[in-house]
Amino acid sequence: MVDWPVWCRDDGSVVACTEKIKVMQDNFTEIQQMMQDAFEDGLLMAVSAQQMRVMLHQMVDDLVDPYRAAS
C-alpha cells in the first residue's frame, strides 16, 4: 500500500476535507492497480518493460486540465 501525499491546492494550502481526501486516495489506489495490471499484461505478452513504462508516463504527460483557462 502506498502512502499518498498530503493533497495541496495550487496556492500551497492543504486540502483538509476528509471526504475529498478519501476520494483522492481511492482514485489513486484504483489507478495504481489498473496500471500494475496493464504493465503485467504487457510483460506477459513479451512487451518491453521499458516501453510499457514510457507509454504509461506518456499517458500522464498527455492529461489535459479542463478547468484551467486557456492562455
Look up the pTM and report it: 0.80
The Cα–Cα gap between 4 and 25 comes to 7
In tens, the pLDDT along 30-47 reads: 999 999 999 999 999 999
Residues of the chain with pLDDT under 70: 1, 70-71
Angle between the 49-61 and 18-44 helix axes, to the nearest 10 degrees?
Answer: 150
9 contacts: CB under 8 Å, gap ≥ 6: 15
**Which 8-state DSSP code applies to residue 4?**
P
CB-CB contact of 2 with 32 (8 Å): yes
